[in-house]
Amino acid sequence: MEEVENKQVILKGYVDILPNESDMEIKVSKIKLKAPKGSGAFLVKNLYLSCDPYMRGRMRKIQAANYLFLPFVPGQALEGFGVSKVIDSDNPDFKPGDLLSGFTGWEEYSLIHKTEQLRKIQAEDVPLSYHVGLLGMPGFTAYAGFFEICSPKKGEYVFVSAASGAVGQLVGQLAKLHGCYVVGSAGTNQKVDLLKNKLGFDEAFNYKEEPDLDAALKRYFSQGIDIYFDNVGGDMLDAALPNMRIHGRIAVCGAASQLGLSMPQGIHNLFNLISKSVKMEGFVQHNYLHLYPRFLEHVIGYYKQGKIVYIEDMHEGLESAPAAFVGLFSGKNVGKQVIRVASE
Amino acid sequence: MEEVENKQVILKGYVDILPNESDMEIKVSKIKLKAPKGSGAFLVKNLYLSCDPYMRGRMRKIQAANYLFLPFVPGQALEGFGVSKVIDSDNPDFKPGDLLSGFTGWEEYSLIHKTEQLRKIQAEDVPLSYHVGLLGMPGFTAYAGFFEICSPKKGEYVFVSAASGAVGQLVGQLAKLHGCYVVGSAGTNQKVDLLKNKLGFDEAFNYKEEPDLDAALKRYFSQGIDIYFDNVGGDMLDAALPNMRIHGRIAVCGAASQLGLSMPQGIHNLFNLISKSVKMEGFVQHNYLHLYPRFLEHVIGYYKQGKIVYIEDMHEGLESAPAAFVGLFSGKNVGKQVIRVASE
């Protein structure tokens, strides 16, 4: 069996705080496009790879206790969510031509042994790449966080930070479909424009142009905030706390503002949790996997009815992956960051 | 009708941060021991007055939004929870000899117009003063916070700060009765001794003798903490966060450590809420008043069976009230701080 070239994105060494492009390198190795007999494995061609902030955690040597994933291995290809097509298989459950969504390598071809976290993609009128975004982990994070943690009611006031990101854009649209008033924050005027004119947010603002975040929130939420979907932590969280309404809920989904700091900023306004009887809850989508089928049904339905859109930032070619990934941490991506490795 | 002397504790002026004894004064006024005809009011003799940390908030001119109570009025007597006996009444629902628990003045006699928040005390084998402690607001705070916010399960690991205080001592005992492992922190060795030898905590420690709170928590919770009942905020909260277990719950009940600061300390470890899927929820007992009858039944039952004890710090005479109240904020009280104004 002939070997072909297999381009890979390799982790060169562990990262301290934020990743740089120089922490990764493109390497070309060889691979047989064949699943070894008796291995139970199968060989896939990777079509789309997802750049997700959580991957930074796997680039660090020391992991937080209870973290879901092990660190990456320096010298080997990164791993992440992707969309792939089966080329050859020694596993009766996966046949050549099957399209899969789930964990794969940051490389052109991967030999897959672990099948637990893979889903077969059924033919639907949805772009394939959406299976790592709208219909993948970020979309499901939005769905589970909004409905399970925030318990939204029609007419409530909802604030979403990093609102044009992979998660935030769906939170805002789900909130609008649920009958809420929704305001988003983002870090460029282009993103603010998308929030207001493409994603249907009631209002949006560029937090980098607000000298006083508390004043900005009071401007958009004169009645206060019922639900804060927090993707950033830090100053925005501290500003949101005094603006929460009684029985408000804060879904703690991410702390994008804190990732570049060696020590997280202090949050000073937690006493508002008591006086307003506010619930603040962290979560990972993994806890809610039993809701995944319902999520897919709902969101695919909304998408087909034209009630939901999804903005992707699509980079072409595996070579673009390190820069695309690094760009996540300075907000360079506009929408969900995806790498197109190969055409379908 | 003859007038008698009525000793009162007067607020002299608004307080900035923490109250001092000099912010209050003892004044003697005159009162007729008679409820005016047609007033619907009734006159009570105050027997016990409760010193509660929340009262500090009413001594400040500027109130947090949504706070339950209005500020006190300088020049007038303080108000708070108390146990009183009706002496004369123009209200058919309240008769001389009735014993009441609820809001009254910090004075020997009070003319009561508002009856909504008063409860008649039924004759039970429970000390009268317990109606402002074990069976009053602090006890109910412990009950509602532990069962409604913390959703405890048998065998779980529970940490209580300010554990010998009015609320903490009942949280720990309820947790033990529920089959949990319970550790408390307090600020003197005398309190630690009470926690271990009188209140039945599994372990207790003096936080003032711990140079490293994280290490102290790891010593007592090698498996991590399922439930943290937080009465203090600040450094202890920051130390508890990384020690929480997956799906842990933090009931945010008070921030005793922060009351003397003009700006609350920053909390740095909130990212643990995400990685451990932890819920942190503030509450006030007022939200759960529908559970009060069940609470009374349960706790009176436990008390009569000898399964619960309650430690009071009883000061004698209204003159002792300012010092007793001020002492709350440096942890001088050992157990629930009560003032005995008159013998029953």
pLDDT in tens, chain A (344 residues): 679 999 999 999 999 889 999 999 999 999 999 999 999 999 999 999 999 999 998 998 875 544 567 899 999 999 999 999 999 999 999 999 999 999 999 999 999 998 888 999 987 789 999 999 999 999 999 999 999 999 999 999 999 999 999 999 999 999 999 999 999 999 999 999 999 999 999 999 999 999 999 999 999 999 999 999 999 999 999 999 999 999 999 999 998 888 888 888 999 999 999 999 999 999 999 999 999 999 999 999 999 999 999 999 999 999 999 999 999 999 999 999 999 999 87
In this structure, is residue B199 part of a structural domain?
yes
Q: What confidence category does residue B303 fall into, taking pLDDT thresholds of 50, 70 and 90?
A: very high
The DSSP code for A187 is S
Name the 3-class secondary structure at B285: helix
What is the predicted pLDDT for the residue at A257? 86
Q: Which domain holds residue A40?
A: 3-133+311-340
What's the pLDDT score for residue B63? 59
CATH number of the domain within which B89 lies: 3.90.180.10
Mean pLDDT estimate for chain B: 94
Are B215 and B248 found together in one domain? Answer: yes
Domain co-membership, A244 together with A108 = no
Q: Which of A263, A275, A280 sits opposite B64 (nearest CB)?
A: A275
Residue A302 in any domain: the answer is no
pLDDT the model gives residue B200: 97
Rounded Cα–Cα distance for residues B29 and B343 (Å) = 21
Q: Is residue B296 part of a domain?
A: no
pLDDT, tens digit, 9 for 90 and up, residues B237-294:
999 999 999 999 999 999 888 888 888 899 999 999 998 999 999 999 999 999 999 9
CB A148 within 8 A of CB A227: no
- The reply to whether residue B274 touches residue A266, judged by beta carbons under 8 angstroms, is no
Residue with tokens 């980079």: A315
pLDDT of residue B65: 47
DSSP H stretches of helix in chain B: 55-58, 137-144, 168-177, 189-197, 213-220, 234-240, 272-275, 292-304, 321-327
Same domain? A216 vs A282: yes
DSSP codes of every residue in B22-63: GGEEEEEEEEESSPPTTS--EEEEEEEEE--TTHHHHTSSSP
- What was the pLDDT predicted at B125? 83
Q: For chain A, how many structural domains are there in total?
A: 2
Same domain flag for B263 and B168: yes
| Inter-chain Cβ pairs, chain A and chain B, closer than 8 A | 109
Q: What is the pLDDT of residue B64?
A: 52
Instruction: Answer yes or no: do A279 and B276 touch at CB < 8 A.
Output: no
Q: What CATH number corresponds to the domain at position B226?
A: 3.40.50.720
Interchain contact A272–B (C-beta under 8 A):
yes
Answer yes or no: is B304 within a domain: no
Confirm whether the ipTM is greater than 0.95: no
The answer to whether residue A304 is domain-embedded is no
A64 touches chain B (CB under 8 A): yes
**B38 contacts: CB under 8 Å, gap ≥ 6:** B90
Q: What's the pLDDT at A69?
A: 73
Question: Which of B286, B301, B320 is at the close of a domain?
Answer: B286
Nearest to B279 by CA among B309, B307, B244, B316: B244
User: What value does the mean pLDDT take over residues B138-147?
Assistant: 98
Tell me, what's the pLDDT at A66?
43
The residue among A27, A107, A67 whose CA lies nearest residue B271 is A67
Establish if B53 touches chain A: CB-CB under 8 angstroms: no
How many CB atoms within 10 Å of residue A113? 11
Q: Which of A111, A62, A115 is nearest to A88 (CA)?
A: A111
CA distance B114 to B120: 14
Residue in B71, B90, B27, B3 with CA at minimum distance from that of residue B321: B27
Dihedral pair phi/psi, residue A120, rounded to 5°:
-80, 135
Distance CA B49, CA B9 (A): 11
Is A264 in contact with B270 (Cβ distance < 8 A)?
yes
- Cβ within 8 Å of residue A142, ≥6 positions away: A167, A168, A170, A171, A174
Does B67 sit within 8 Å of A275, measured CB to CB? yes
Cβ <8 Å between B266 and A263: no
Q: Is residue B300 part of a domain?
A: no
| C-alpha distance from A173 to closest chain B C-alpha (Å) | 23
Instruction: Using the predicted structure, report yes or no on whether residue B69 has a pLDDT greater than 80.
Output: no
The verdict on A79 and A67 lying in the same domain is yes
B86 and B193 part of one domain: no
Q: What is the pLDDT of residue B117?
A: 81
Helix (H) or strand (E) holding B80: strand B79-89
Confidence check: pLDDT of B14 > 70: yes
Q: Please check whether residue A75 lies inside any domain of the structure.
A: yes
Check whether residue A226 and residue A281 sit in a common domain.
yes
With a CB cutoff of 8 Å and minimum separation 6, the contacts of A339 are A48, A49, A50, A51, A314, A315, A316, A317, A318, A320, A321, A324
Per the rule left: phi > 0, alpha: psi between -120 and 50, beta: everything else, A258 is: alpha
CB contact under 8 A, A252 and B272: no
The contacts of residue B292 (CB under 8 Å, 6+ apart) are B140
DSSP A188: S
A183 and A227 share one domain:
yes
The answer to whether A164 and A336 have CB atoms below 8 angstroms apart is no
Q: How far apart are the first and last CA of chain A?
A: 24
Mean pLDDT of B41-52: 97
- Chain centroid to Cα A154, Å, comes to 26
A162 chain-B contacts, CB cut-off 8 A: none
A47 contacts: CB under 8 Å, gap ≥ 6: A82, A83, A84, A85, A128, A129, A340, A341, A342, A343, A344
Q: What share of chain B in percent tops pLDDT 90?
A: 88
C-alpha distances in Å from residue A235, one per residue of A192, A240, A244, B79, B240: 19, 9, 15, 38, 22
Q: What is the DSSP secondary structure assignment for residue A269, as one 8-state letter?
A: -
Residue B257: how many other CB atoms lie within 10 Å: 21
pLDDT level of residue B67 (50, 70, 90 thresholds): low
Residues A47 and A91 placed together within one structural domain of the fold: yes
**In this complex, do B283 and A270 lie within 8 Å of one another by their Cβ atoms?**
no
Q: How far is B197 from chain A (nearest CA, A)?
A: 31
Position B305 in a domain = no
Q: 3-class DSSP state for residue B10?
A: strand
State residue A63's pLDDT score.
59
Claim to verify: residue A126 and residue A38 sit in the same structural domain: yes
B-contacting residues in A 80-119 (Cβ below 8 Å): none
In this prediction, residue B116 carries a pLDDT of 82
A59, A188: one domain: no
pLDDT score, position B1: 67
Residues B121 and B185 in one domain: no
The domain boundary residue, chosen from A252, A269, A286? A286
